């Protein structure tokens, strides 16, 4: 847990600090407004609840939305092939940098999940893939498309499966 927290802090960018600082400033502002309006109880309670909502939800939702906007990318599955003589699946794909910034690194993840005829089970299976493999691609310029190959192993599943790709870039 300590290592994950340290990696998160090391990966913060200046925009993250601006976001966290503005959330704290809004929290303090709403608390001050609640104190100033303490004679009007309902309005004061509203500002206290709003302050804590901003304090709890602001950093999380703001971080996710900001990174989704700043580091926009598109991954596409080109091919997948289950190997006959080894327990592996070779996944080939492309990643495109759709943002206005160059990416220093992208962690590309291939998730393998079961497929059934039941649409509700399919939704649940997508949440918990049974096989997962990741690679890191370095230096992707804005507008550039790079090809990649991921080998998912060990892979012993015999029934129908699907593969989804995703990328987390910085």
pLDDT digits (tens, 9 = 90+) for 114-123: 888 888 888 8
Looking at residue 32, its pLDDT comes to 95
Element containing residue 81 per DSSP (H, E): strand 73-82
pTM above 0.85, yes or no: no
Residue 8 has pLDDT above 90, yes or no: no
Mean pLDDT computed over 107-113: 91
pLDDT bin (cut points 50, 70, 90) of residue 130 is confident
> In the CATH hierarchy, which top-level class contains the domain 73-169?
mainly beta
| φ and ψ at residue 100, rounded to 5 degrees | -95, 10
Q: What is the DSSP letter of 158?
A: -
Cβ-based neighbour number of residue 57 at 10 Å:
11
């Amino acid at each position: 847990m300590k290592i994950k927290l340290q990696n998160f802090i090391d990966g913060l960018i200046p925009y993250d600090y601006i976001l966290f600082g503005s959330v704290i400033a809004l929290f303090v502002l709403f608390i001050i407004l609640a104190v100033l309006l303490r004679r009007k109880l309902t309005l004061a309670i509203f500002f206290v609840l709003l302050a804590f909502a901003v304090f709890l939800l602001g950093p999380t939702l703001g971080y996710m939305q900001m990174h989704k906007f700043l580091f926009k990318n598109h991954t596409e599955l080109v091919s997948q092939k289950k190997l006959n003589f080894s327990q592996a699946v070779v996944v080939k794909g492309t990643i495109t940098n759709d943002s206005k910034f160059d990416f220093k690194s992208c962690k590309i993840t291939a998730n393998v999940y079961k497929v059934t005829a039941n649409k509700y089970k399919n939704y649940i299976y997508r949440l918990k893939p049974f096989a997962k493999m990741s690679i890191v691609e370095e230096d992707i310029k804005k507008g550039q498309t790079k090809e990649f190959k991921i080998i998912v192993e060990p892979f012993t599943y015999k029934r129908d499966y699907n593969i989804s790709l995703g990328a987390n870039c910085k």
